[in-house]
Structure 1
Amino acid sequence: DDDVEPPEPEDRPALRHTVFDAWADDQEEVPPLDLLVDISVPTPRWSTLVENALAVFRSDLEASAVLAPDDRMSAIGEALKMARRLKETTTMVGKRAASELATVVMVLVGSRTRFLPLLDAVLDLGLVPHDTQLVLEAGTVLGISEDEIYARLSQPLEQLRFLIEGNVQDLRRHLDLVDKITTIPDELLEHLLACCVRDANRMGLALLLAIALGPVLTRVGTAVPQDIVDDSLGYRGIGGGENLLLQWYTHRDDIPSAFKERVRALAKSALLDAALAWMHQGTGGAERGLLPQSRTRPYRAGDDLDHLDIDGTLEAFTSSGRSIELLSSDDLLVQDTASGRAGFGVLIDISGSMSGRDLAVCAIAVIMLMGRLQPEELALALFESDTHVIKGFASGRDLDDVAGELLELRATGGTCVDAALRFMHDEFAGQADQERRVLFLLSDFCFFESHDELRPLLDDLRALDVHFIGAGHGHISRDVAALFAQRLGGQVTKIPSLAKLPELLMQALAWIAGGAQ
């Protein structure tokens, strides 16, 4: 449970373990591996049984070696499923068993055309064969070079080196590396840039730009010509979209002036596109509002005929007692959807610990909210030591202008929330016709203000019947989070990473639209 609750006592008796041991004592033979994975209990007894069951499972798997390669694939597929489940137990014995099965399937595959795709599938599952030498020998027998196998089994930087040094034009493998490497050592970067220039390798250079935009661009004119950089930026989708936005926030201070405006424009477009993907999901919308309400009204010239309320029109006309021949356009009724009156106040903590990726996610969330809701439904501010108001309920903002403003967003300063809470109080207090008010706060709750300073600010919001949804990631000050939940009558949910923020905001909008209290 990720909600803020009192911690569980660590010395609680492990009753489940005792029950498992009693069950194990009653078994006359080794239980099947499938069953043991289902009832995963991290005890020495369970680990021993898993090792014994794995030996049986592996023996049955290796027995399929007598079959033709095509006929082995069913057993290999089942083994991969079992390996994934073993890994997901998060136990040492489970992970070790998963790696062992990964080795067995690579030795067993016996097909040159299937070997590398199977190895890719194994690695995509997060599995690493426990015996590299056995995998190399199995591939060599099939006529596959050790370099090809090492390139897949090695660390991401070695895979990067292999792709670019060999001028390997494999788009999928380039795309796979984009999110696996965060920095490239200067010496290696110089070498790889030279390889790209030598081979006119736009795909390789696009990958380097996607990983280290600033360091690559600072070398334009010396290590790499500008024309190949122009042709490679975003080549075949490598490093475009949200990745480009991340690169902007991470490397913007290192981007040479000759490229800065172009990269900034691409980053703004990426921000708007990323937010657009969220804008039309869920309940309500910019046209219908957070609390869509339907009513019928007389038809007017220019109304969309798809909105005609046929049943309502006929019911109203027949109840008038007139003949159907007298029906005219004056009698037609249409469904009209109006927005209800709800206020969604959003405060996002952008204090100094946020990474470039975190800033990118926050920017996407801001644009998504502004495009998703009507202006009078949203008040939004970012805060650290200072509070940066994006908009109030009574003001509208152009998305393009806000996107440009957010590209200059920086994570600086401490974490002072008092001015942000006062801003939200004033915004809610100024909207007397709101039927529902919700405050969403993203933070680690490690505020500069004391409990005594926070209590009256929270009580003032509660007096306006403001409901509360809190979210945090990383280390959270549990006592301060609990104070917010107690005084405002809501809860704080811990999210595994800030990447979940847009999804969490969509859930909050659905909660408001659903009328939850």
Structure 2
Amino acid sequence: MWEKVIIKILNNDYKSRKNLKIITRKGSVEDIINILKYLKEINSNRKYSDIILIFKNILRNRIENVDDLFNTAMELKEIPDIRLDKILICSLETIPLPLVLKLSKALDQSFGMNIRDLLFKILFQEFSAENFSKLKLNGEYGLFDLICEYSFHSSSWISIYEQVLLAEIEKAKNAFRSHETFKILTNKILQNTNSCENIFCAQIFSQSLIKLSSLTIESCIVPTELKDVVEFLNDQNLPFRKEKIKLIGRKIGMSEDEIAELIEPPFEVLKRLMKNPHSDLKKIKNLIDKIKSELDLDKILELMTLALGVNNKEALAALGHHNLGLSLKAASLVEGKKGMEKLISTLTAGKGEDLITQWFIHRDEIPEFLKEKIKDLAKSILIDLGINYSRNYCGSLNSGLFQTNLVRPYEIGDCYEDIDLESTLFNILEKGKKIEHLTYDDFFVSINSNDKRTVCIEMDISESMTGKKLAYMAICVTMLVYGMKKDELGITLFEKNTHVLKEVNQKVELEELADELLSLKPRGTTFVRKALDWAKYQFKKSLSSKGKLNILFTDSDIFDLPDAAEILRAFKSLQVDFILVCPAKHNIEESEKIVKLAGGQLLKVEDWEKFPELITNIINSRF
């Protein structure tokens, strides 16, 4: 339409009132803008100045909202003379608030205006908390989020921010899980504090956090909520008043010890727990884990003095499982040999894995007169762990992960060496038979199945294998020896030399195995050829096995890999499924070279505590 109007203007017909009425009534804001743009371009001799003024007046009356104002300003490069308050009120009633804020900010930045100041005044004056719902919001943003995102250095922004914040606080107070809603609100403000580029507004956000921290604490109605809130505030480095925690904690029925755990430094809480003859072992261990890097001999000595003073067995066990070497030294300084004996007597409490780990880390620091006693404790625990892990991951003899003990009743002519003693004894006991009543049918013999499988495992014990690695390797070996038949499994350890723990078909007593494992010491560099040669020989002895699996574990660089290349290739011809297991942070190029030579697969250990489970999953997936 605007093109027709321009033609009439050029034909000197612009004075026609009829034409002006048409453009005023039917023409869009865009039409008027286009007319003005064109006239300004051809008005070099000011011929059209009067008509330009007329159309500017028309445009001023046609601008209804900030969207129209923005388009006008951007196209004509000037701000028309308008009633801005009227435009903003209309905008808030007709278009989404996110768009109003976005366009207002753009106009302020492009033309040096101060539209946002007036906009926030109008929001504060015209829209109270009761009628915030009248504002047009799209689904992506809430009102509070928008006010925070468009923070602005002005008193009007502060007024509307505080008004909207009060509304959010009331919502949080009435929410189902009030403390969670307050945490979410606090976190929002914290994020805005950290991301806000305007220092003035960032300070306003920061001041709100002080109030929100207090309200979040007050919203707690049970101890678990208060513990959760304090942990949240500490994680976010938000300040809070200890007196407020005490007040709310007592109000919701927490003991003084429980309150102290929330507001005192971990070491002070530990000291408080040490004085109690009957403490919670798990709680003490969790606190120790929080400050384990701070616990030197002086601090452990302070804690040990308190624990021994009241014979706090849980505390003694926790200290021993944290650092056995320093704990024994501290116990000796407090009560001499008697103190060390007390400490040792508690070590079977808690996780057995912790004691095994401490043995491998600190065995050289243990006094000789105690070493055998602690080793016996570790041996007993290692065997129990191996059995328990086997039951959890390997299943039972009759139906489990490693079920290969296929049996049938004894028949005349069977070799007595094939009698499966475990299955036979279980059968007899289950039936409750006396010896004089036994028949051939009560005995079971192993079935010579073509489905026999052979698993060989080579584990690295070079000098990089220490502490937790050795502990879970020992548990894994004990688990496998207990959970698999003797003719299925062969295990060797290697560093520069090879240490065979079990040949395929060799029966190994768990106690002897555990003793040997606990005597292992990481040494030397990593040479793998002899260990792989051993495995190749085991597989050659088991050619009738339908399934053959080799698992090689190493956590360091191999020095004789070129010499081992031929043996790795031999696994292919023997139809051996080859798996290389290594830590996540390992020499990836060397690892890929090994699996390529053997035609195998690479698996990585992310968590040493999952090592036994990983090995059993590998075996399970291959058979």
Normalization by structure 2: what TM-score? 0.58
Residue in 2 aligned with 1:130? 236
| 1:438 pairs with one of 549, 562, 576 | 549
Superposed counterparts of 1:451-466, under 5 Å = 452-466=562-576
Amino acid at match of 1:63: E
Q: Residues 374, 57 of structure 1: CA spacing in aligned structure 2 closer, same or farther, 3 A cutoff?
A: farther
| Backbone CA RMSD of aligned residues | 4.7
- The answer to whether residue 589 in structure 2 is matched with residue 479 in structure 1 is yes
The reply to whether residue 371 of structure 1 matches residue 479 of structure 2 is no
From 602, 609, 616, give the equivalent of 1:499.
Answer: 609
For 1:211-222, what aligned pairs fall within 5 Å after superposition?
211-222=322-333
- Give the Cα separation in 1 of the matches to 2:508 and 2:611: 22
- 1:261 counterpart = 2:378: no
- 1:204 positional shift: 2.7
Match of 2:122 in 1: none
| Cross-structure match for 1:193 | 304
Q: Secondary structure at the match of 1:400?
A: helix
Give, in angstroms, the shift of residue 381 of structure 1: 1.0
How much has 1:82 moved relative to structure 2?
11
Question: Structure 2 counterpart of 1:436, which letter?
Answer: G
Note the residue ranges of structure 1 that are not aligned, 5 or more in a row. Answer: 1-24, 37-47, 50-54, 85-91, 94-99, 309-328
Residue 247 of structure 2: which of 123, 126, 141 is its match? 141
Q: Distance in 1 between matches of 2:212 and 2:348?
A: 36
| Match of residue 401, structure 1, among 512, 517, 524 | 512
Partners of 2:464 and 2:555 within 8 A in 1: no
Cα distance change, pair 210–488 in 1 and its aligned pair in 2 (3 A): same
Q: Which moved more, 1:390-399 or 1:279-288?
A: 279-288
Letter in 2 for 1:507: N
Q: Which residue of 2 aligns with 1:114?
A: 222
- After superposition, the Cα gap between the structure-2 partners of 1:291 and 1:130, relative to the gap in structure 1 and judged at 3 Å, is closer
Partner of 2:170: 63
CA distance in 2, matches of 1:234, 1:131: 41
- 1:397-452 deviations in whole A, cap 9, x for unaligned? 111100011111122211111111111111111222111111111223621124x4
Alignment correspondent of 2:14: none
Structure showing the higher helix proportion among its residues: 2
What residue identity is the alignment partner of 1:134?
F
Who is 1:74 aligned against? 177
Matched with 1:354 is 465
In structure 1, distance between residues paired with 2:164 and 2:602:
44
Q: Which has the higher contact order (CA 8 A, sep 6+)?
A: 1
Structure 1 residues 414 and 227: alpha-carbon distance in aligned structure 2, compared to 1, 3 A threshold: same
How many angstroms does 1:299 deviate by? Answer: 8.9
Structure 2 residue aligned with 1:274: 385
SS at match of 2:462: coil
C-alpha separation in 1, matches of 2:507 and 2:164:
64
How much has 1:487 moved relative to structure 2?
Answer: 2.6
Say if 2:406 and 2:446, in contact at 8 Å, map to a contact too: yes
SS in 2 for 1:142: helix
In structure 2, the residue matched to 1:224 is 335
Q: Is the 8 A contact 1:295 1:337 kept in 2?
A: yes
How far apart are 1:267 and its partner, in Å?
A: 0.7
Counterpart contact for 1:136–1:149, Cα < 8 Å: no
- Sort the Cα spacing of 1:291 and 1:461 in 2 relative to 1 into closer, same or farther, 3 A: farther
Residue of structure 2 in register with 1:176 after alignment: 286
Count of paired positions: 430
Corresponding residue for 1:429? 540
TM-score, normalised relative to structure 1? 0.69
Q: Which entry has the higher C-alpha Rg, 1 or 2?
A: 2
* 1:245 corresponds to 2:353: no
SS at match of 1:218: helix
Residue identity opposite 1:491 in structure 2: Q
Judge conservation of contact 1:107–1:134 (CA < 8 Å) in 2. no
Residues in 2 aligned to 1:437 and 1:409: alpha-carbon distance in whole angstroms: 28
Native 8 Å contact 2:568 2:598 kept in 1: yes
Distance across 1 between alignment mates of 2:305 and 2:391: 45
The answer as to whether partners of 2:457 and 2:551 remain within 8 angstroms in 1 is: yes
Q: How far did residue 497 of structure 1 move?
A: 2.2
Check conservation: 1:106, 1:119, Cα contact below 8 A. no
Cα distance in 1 for residues equivalent to 2:550 and 2:428? 39
Instruction: Out of 369-378 and 209-218, give the one that drifted further.
Output: 209-218
Q: Distance in 1 between matches of 2:274 and 2:597?
A: 57
Q: Give how far 1:384 is off.
A: 1.6
